[in-house]
Amino acid sequence: AGVFVLLLVLSTSSSFLLSDDGGQSDASTFNPDWVRFDVREGVYNEAFGLLDEHLVNEERAPLALSTFGTFDAQGLELLRPVPADLLEPRFDTLLLIVSNEMRLHDVRSELNDQPGLAVREFIAPSGLLVQGTPSALTQAGEHPAIITAHAVPIGMFLHDDLMDIVLFEEGETALQGLLLRMDGWRDDGGPVDTVSLSDDTGVLLNQNLGEVASEVFDDWRAWDTGRYEGTLSAVDLTVLLRQPSLMQLRPDPAFSAFNDQSRGHMKTNTMTTYFTTDLDGSGQIVGVADAGLDEDHGDFGTRVVGNYDVIGDGSTADKHSGHGTHVSCTVLGSGFRGGYGGVAQAADLYFQAMEN
Domain C-terminal end among 251, 278, 305: 251
Query: Are 221 and 113 members of one domain?
Result: yes
239, pLDDT greater than 90:
yes
Provide the number of structural domains found in the chain.
2
Query: Are 68 and 188 members of one domain?
Result: yes
Query: Are 269 and 187 members of one domain?
Result: no
Which pLDDT value is given to residue 9? 43
Least confident of 33-42, 149-158, 313-322, 326-335: 33-42
77, pLDDT greater than 80:
yes
177, pLDDT greater than 80:
yes
5, pLDDT greater than 90:
no
Which pLDDT value is given to residue 265? 76
Q: Is residue 298 part of a domain?
A: yes
Which pLDDT value is given to residue 16? 42
Query: Are 191 and 97 members of one domain?
Result: yes
263, pLDDT greater than 90:
no
Which pLDDT value is given to residue 14? 44
CB 216 within 8 A of CB 235: yes
Q: Is residue 345 part of a domain?
A: yes
Which pLDDT value is given to residue 44? 65
Query: Are 203 and 289 members of one domain?
Result: no
Q: How many CB atoms lie within 10 A of CB 87?
A: 15
Task: Please state, for a pLDDT cut of 70, what percent of the chain lies above it.
Answer: 85
- pTM, entire model: 0.61
Mean of the per-residue pLDDT values of the chain: 87
Query: Are 75 and 160 members of one domain?
Result: yes
Query: Are 339 and 239 members of one domain?
Result: no
- For residues 145 and 100, give the distance between their C-alpha atoms in angstroms, rounded to a whole number: 8
Q: Is residue 93 part of a domain?
A: yes
- For residues 291 and 318, give the distance between their C-alpha atoms in angstroms, rounded to a whole number: 6
Query: Are 242 and 347 members of one domain?
Result: no
CB 298 within 8 A of CB 337: yes
Residue that wins the pLDDT comparison between 297 and 28: 297
Q: Is residue 264 part of a domain?
A: yes
Q: Is residue 53 part of a domain?
A: no
- For residues 130 and 108, give the distance between their C-alpha atoms in angstroms, rounded to a whole number: 10
Q: Is residue 315 part of a domain?
A: yes
- For residues 279 and 259, give the distance between their C-alpha atoms in angstroms, rounded to a whole number: 29
Which pLDDT value is given to residue 269? 67
- Cβ-based neighbours of 146, under 8 Å, separated by 6 or more: 96, 97, 98, 99, 107, 140
Residue 229 sits in which domain range? 64-251
Which pLDDT value is given to residue 45? 67
Task: Please state, for a pLDDT cut of 90, what percent of the chain lies above it.
Answer: 65
Query: Residue 15 — very low, low, confident or very high, per pLDDT cuts 50/70/90?
Result: very low
236, pLDDT greater than 60:
yes
Which pLDDT value is given to residue 318? 85
10, pLDDT greater than 50:
no
Q: Is residue 59 part of a domain?
A: no
Q: Is residue 272 part of a domain?
A: yes
Query: Residue 260 — very low, low, confident or very high, per pLDDT cuts 50/70/90?
Result: low
Domain C-terminal end among 251, 277, 295: 251
Which pLDDT value is given to residue 123? 97
Domain C-terminal end among 216, 251, 286: 251
Query: Are 143 and 223 members of one domain?
Result: yes
Least confident of 13-17, 32-36, 45-49, 299-303: 13-17
Query: Are 92 and 201 members of one domain?
Result: yes
109, pLDDT greater than 90:
yes
CB 318 within 8 A of CB 292: yes
Query: Are 218 and 123 members of one domain?
Result: yes
Query: Are 110 and 196 members of one domain?
Result: yes
Query: Residue 242 — very low, low, confident or very high, per pLDDT cuts 50/70/90?
Result: very high
12, pLDDT greater than 60:
no
